[in-house]
C-alpha cells in the first residue's frame, strides 16, 4: 500500500507544478526555524538547570562535609545535628546521601540500606584522591555527585614547601539527586512549544497556500490570455506585467504572434497579387476577343493584329505561371538542392552568351571580368537562375547603348558575383522592397519591359538556399550593382 502511494506520487505530475514546489519550500522554510528553535531552547534549558542543580548540591555537600569533620561523624554517627542536615538535604533534592569513610565503608545512608557495606566504585576512589565527580544520567533521571570530606591537619614539622598544614581526605559524600523536577519542567515547556508549533503549522500552511495562489496567478493569467487568443475571443497583444518573467513570456509570445500575423498578411497579399497578376492578361485577352466578336466583318489584318496581342498576353501569363512554379518549388525544401562542383567561370560565360542577343537589341555591351578561376559546390540550375535573372534585369532596366559588367572573384571561403549596369537605377527608398514577390518599382514601365516582379524573389530565395547573401547598391539614373556572395563549399559554413 505504502509502496503504491510512493509510486503514485513519483509518477504524478504534481511535483512538476510550480505551485506545489513553492508551497513546499515556503512551508519548510517557515517550519524549520520553529522546530530547531524548540529543540535548541529545550536542550539549553536542560543543561542550564542541571548545572544550577549540581552547583547548589555541591555547595550544600561541602558545608555538611566540614560539619562532618567538626563532629567527627566518620567515627561516631550519633550527631543529631548532622543527621538532621543530611535528612534536610535528601528531602530538599529528593535524593540519597551516602557517607563513606577512608576504608570505603558506608557509615551513613539516608535510605538506611547500605550502612556497613563497602563501596568500590570508580567515582568514590577518584574522589578519595581529592577531586569530586559529577555524573548526569539523563535516561534514569538522576545526577550523581561525589564530594571529598577533607580535614586540614597540622603537620608536626613544616613540609618541604614550607606549609604547616595539609588537607587530608578522610572520606567521601556520595549523593544522587533526582532530576524529575527538571524533566517535569521540560515536559511542560515542550508541551507548550508543541501547541505553539501546531498553531504555527496551521498558520504557515494557510499563509503559504494563500501566497502560492497569489504568486502563481500571473502565470495562470498568461495561460488564460493565450487560450482566449487561441479560441479567438481576442486578438490584441497580451499584457501581464506583474513579473519580469511573465513580461518576458508575454513579449516573446506577442512577437511570435506578430510574426505569424505578418506571415499571414504576406500570404494573403501574395494570393491577392497572384490572382491580380494572372487575371490581367486574361482580361486583356477577353477584351481583345470580345471586340473582335463584336465586329462580324472585321478585316483579316485586324484579326491578325488582335491575335498577335492575344498571343503576347498568353505568353505573359505563361511566364508568370512559370516564375510562380519556380518560386513555389524553391520554397518547398532545401533537400531538393542538387549540389555538384561547378566551374563558375564557364557557367557565367554560357549564360552571357545566351543573353548577348537580347542585349544587342538595345546595343548593350556585356563584359565579363574573371578575377580568378572559381570552382564551387553549388546547385547548377539554381546558380544559372541567379545569374540569368540578374543579367536579364541589368539588360532590361538599362538604357540604349548601356553597359553590363559581370565580375567573378573569390577568397578562401566565399565567391562573389557582381552584376553592374548603367541603367535607370533604383530609388533608395525602394531598394529593400525589390526582393518582394510581385514588387516592381515602376509598374507602368515594368509592364512594357515585361517584368513579372518575381525574378528577384526567385533569385534571393536561390541565394539563401546556398546560404549566401545578396545586396544591391544603386544610384538613380546612373546604374545598379548587385553583389551575390556564396560559400565555396557546403561544409565550410555552419548551418
Ligand atoms: P521584374 O520581373 O519586374 O524584373 P524583379 O523581381 O526581377 O521583377 O525586379 C523587381 C523590380 O526591381 C523591378 O520591377 C525593377 O523595378 C527593379 N529592378 C530590378 N533589377 C533592376 C536593375 N538592374 N536596375 C533597376 N531596377 C531594377
Specify the residue with its C-alpha closest to ligand 1, atom 2. Answer: 451
pLDDT at 495: 45
DSSP for 24-37, please give it: HHHHHHHHHHHHHH
Specify the residue with its C-alpha closest to ligand 1, atom 25. Answer: 425
Q: Which three cell numbers stand for residue 44?
A: 539549553
Between the CA of 416 and the centroid of ligand 1 the distance, in Å, is 20
Structural domains for the chain: 1-153+165-225 (3.30.450.20), 237-332 (1.10.287.130), 334-492 (3.30.565.10)
The dihedral over CA atoms of 430, 431, 437, 441, expressed in degrees to the nearest 10, equals: 50
Q: Which three cell numbers stand for residue 235?
A: 486578438
- Cβ of residue 421 lying under 6 Å from some atom of ligand 1: yes
Between the CA of 314 and the centroid of ligand 1 the distance, in Å, is 22
- In ligand 1, the atom with minimum distance to the C-alpha of 482 is 23
Cα–chain-centroid distance for residue 48? Answer: 50
- Cβ of residue 451 lying under 6 Å from some atom of ligand 1: yes
Between the CA of 483 and the centroid of ligand 1 the distance, in Å, is 15
- Which among 267, 270, 266 is positioned nearest to 438, based on CA atoms? 270
Q: Which three cell numbers stand for residue 349?
A: 560565360
pLDDT at 1: 77
Specify the residue with its C-alpha closest to ligand 1, atom 21. Answer: 393
Between the CA of 440 and the centroid of ligand 1 the distance, in Å, is 6
pLDDT at 38: 87
DSSP run (H or E) holding 199: helix 180-231
Question: What does the alpha-carbon distance between residue 281 and residue 285 come to, in Å, rounded to a whole number?
Answer: 6
Beta strands in 157-297 (DSSP E): 165-178
- Cβ of residue 426 lying under 6 Å from some atom of ligand 1: yes
Strand-pairing partners, residue 169, are 150
Q: How do the pLDDT tens digits run along the chain, 495 residues long?
A: 788 887 877 777 888 888 999 999 999 998 998 889 888 988 999 999 999 999 999 999 999 999 999 999 989 888 899 999 999 999 988 899 999 998 999 999 999 898 999 998 999 999 999 888 999 998 999 999 999 999 988 888 887 888 888 888 999 999 999 999 899 999 999 999 899 999 999 999 999 999 999 999 999 999 998 898 888 767 778 888 888 999 999 999 999 988 888 888 878 888 887 888 888 889 989 999 999 899 888 898 998 999 999 999 999 899 889 888 887 877 765 557 889 999 999 999 999 999 998 999 999 999 999 999 999 999 998 999 999 999 999 999 999 999 999 999 999 999 999 999 999 999 999 999 999 888 888 766 655 666 778 889 989 999 999 999 999 999 999 999 999 999 999 875 544
Between the CA of 425 and the centroid of ligand 1 the distance, in Å, is 9
Q: Which residue has the cell 491578325?
A: 304
The three-state DSSP-derived secondary structure of 95-156 is EEEEEEECCCEEEEECCCCCCCCECCCHHHHHHHCCCCEEEEECCCCEEEEEEEEEEEEECC
Are the C-beta atoms of 377 and 449 separated by less than 8 Å? no
Instruction: From 404, 434, 448, give the residue whose CB has the most ligand 1 atoms within 8 Å, as the site to mutate.
Output: 434
CA angle 297, 298, 301 (to 5 degrees): 140
- Cβ of residue 348 lying under 6 Å from some atom of ligand 1: no
- Cβ of residue 394 lying under 6 Å from some atom of ligand 1: yes
Specify the residue with its C-alpha closest to ligand 1, atom 13. Answer: 440
pTM comes to 0.52
Between the CA of 493 and the centroid of ligand 1 the distance, in Å, is 30
- Cβ of residue 479 lying under 6 Å from some atom of ligand 1: no
Question: What does the alpha-carbon distance between residue 166 and residue 158 come to, in Å, rounded to a whole number?
Answer: 10
Between the CA of 420 and the centroid of ligand 1 the distance, in Å, is 13
Instruction: From 442, 451, 476, give the residue whose CB has the most ligand 1 atoms within 8 Å, as the site to mutate.
Output: 451
pLDDT at 152: 87
Instruction: From 455, 460, 472, 479, give the residue whose CB has the most ligand 1 atoms within 8 Å, as the site to mutate.
Output: 455
- Cβ of residue 440 lying under 6 Å from some atom of ligand 1: yes
- In ligand 1, the atom with minimum distance to the C-alpha of 479 is 24
340: left (phi over 0), alpha (psi -120 to 50) or beta: beta
pLDDT at 161: 81
Centre a 10 Å sphere on the Cβ of residue 439 and count the other Cβ atoms it contains: 17
Between the CA of 442 and the centroid of ligand 1 the distance, in Å, is 9
Instruction: From 447, 456, 474, 476, give the residue whose CB has the most ligand 1 atoms within 8 Å, as the site to mutate.
Output: 456
Q: Order the strands of the 106-109 sheet from edge to edge.
A: 106-109, 95-101, 165-178, 142-154, 133-137
- In ligand 1, the atom with minimum distance to the C-alpha of 457 is 6
Helix axes 455-465, 380-396, angle to 10 degrees: 150
Q: Which three cell numbers stand for residue 109?
A: 545512608
- Cβ of residue 456 lying under 6 Å from some atom of ligand 1: yes
Amino acid at each position: 500500500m505504502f509502496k503504491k502511494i510512493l509510486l503514485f506520487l513519483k509518477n504524478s505530475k504534481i511535483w512538476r507544478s510550480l505551485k506545489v514546489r513553492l508551497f513546499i519550500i515556503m512551508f519548510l522554510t517557515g517550519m524549520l526555524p520553529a522546530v530547531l528553535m524548540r529543540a535548541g531552547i529545550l536542550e539549553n534549558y536542560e543543561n542550564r538547570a542541571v548545572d544550577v542543580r549540581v552547583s547548589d548540591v555541591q555547595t550544600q555537600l561541602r558545608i555538611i562535609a566540614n560539619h562532618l569533620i567538626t563532629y567527627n561523624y566518620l567515627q561516631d554517627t550519633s550527631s543529631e545535628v548532622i543527621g538532621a542536615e543530611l535528612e534536610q538535604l535528601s528531602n530538599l533534592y529528593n535524593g540519597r546521601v551516602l557517607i563513606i569513610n577512608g576504608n570505603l565503608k558506608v557509615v551513613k545512608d539516608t535510605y538506611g540500606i547500605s550502612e556497613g557495606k563497602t563501596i568500590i566504585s570508580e567515582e568514590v576512589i577518584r574522589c578519595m584522591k581529592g577531586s569530586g565527580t559529577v555524573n548526569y544520567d539523563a535516561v534514569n533521571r538522576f545526577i550523581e555527585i561525589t564530594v571529598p570530606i577533607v580535614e586540614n591537619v597540622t603537620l608536626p614539622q613544616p613540609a618541604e614547601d614550607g606549609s604547616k598544614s595539609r588537607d587530608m581526605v578522610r572520606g567521601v559524600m556520595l549523593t544522587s539527586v533526582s532530576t524529575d523536577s527538571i524533566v517535569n519542567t521540560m515536559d511542560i515547556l515542550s508541551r507548550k512549544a508543541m501547541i505553539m508549533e501546531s498553531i504555527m503549522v496551521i498558520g504557515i500552511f494557510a499563509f503559504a497556500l494563500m501566497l502560492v495562489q497569489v504568486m502563481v496567478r500571473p502565470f495562470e493569467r498568461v495561460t488564460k490570455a493565450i487560450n482566449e487568443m487561441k479560441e479567438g475571443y481576442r486578438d490584441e497583444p497580451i499584457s501581464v506585467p506583474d513579473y519580469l518573467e511573465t513580461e518576458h513570456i508575454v513579449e516573446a509570445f506577442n512577437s511570435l504572434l506578430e510574426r505569424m500575423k505578418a506571415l499571414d498578411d504576406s500570404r494573403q497579399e501574395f494570393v491577392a497579387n497572384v490572382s491580380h497578376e494572372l487575371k490581367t492578361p486574361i482580361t486583356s485577352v477577353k477584351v481583345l476577343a470580345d471586340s473582335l466578336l463584336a465586329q462580324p466583318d472585321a478585316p483579316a489584318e485586324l484579326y491578325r493584329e488582335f491575335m498577335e496581342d492575344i498571343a503576347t498576353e498568353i505568353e505573359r501569363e505563361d511566364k508568370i505561371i512559370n516564375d510562380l512554379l519556380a518560386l513555389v518549388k524553391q520554397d518547398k525544401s532545401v533537400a531538393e538542392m542538387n549540389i555538384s562542383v561547378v566551374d563558375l567561370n564557364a557557367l557565367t560565360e554560357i549564360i552571357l552568351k545566351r543573353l548577348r542577343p537580347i542585349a544587342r537589341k538595345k546595343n548593350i555591351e556585356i563584359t565579363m571580368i574573371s578575377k580568378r578561376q572559381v570552382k564551387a559546390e553549388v546547385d547548377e540550375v539554381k546558380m544559372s537562375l541567379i545569374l540569368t535573372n540578374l543579367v536579364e534585369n541589368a539588360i532590361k532596366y538599362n538604357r540604349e547603348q548601356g553597359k553590363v559588367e559581370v565580375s567573378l572573384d573569390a577568397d578562401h571561403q566565399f565567391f562573389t558575383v557582381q552584376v553592374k549596369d548603367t541603367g535607370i537605377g533604383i530609388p533608395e527608398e525602394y531598394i529593400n522592397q525589390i526582393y518582394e514577390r510581385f514588387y516592381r518599382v515602376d509598374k507602368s514601365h515594368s509592364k512594357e519591359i515585361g517584368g513579372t516582379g518575381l525574378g528577384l524573389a526567385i533569385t534571393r530565395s536561390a541565394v539563401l538556399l546556398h546560404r549566401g547573401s545578396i545586396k544591391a547598391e544603386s544610384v538613380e539614373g546612373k546604374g545598379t550593382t548587385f553583389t551575390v556572395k556564396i560559400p565555396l563549399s557546403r561544409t565550410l559554413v555552419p548551418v
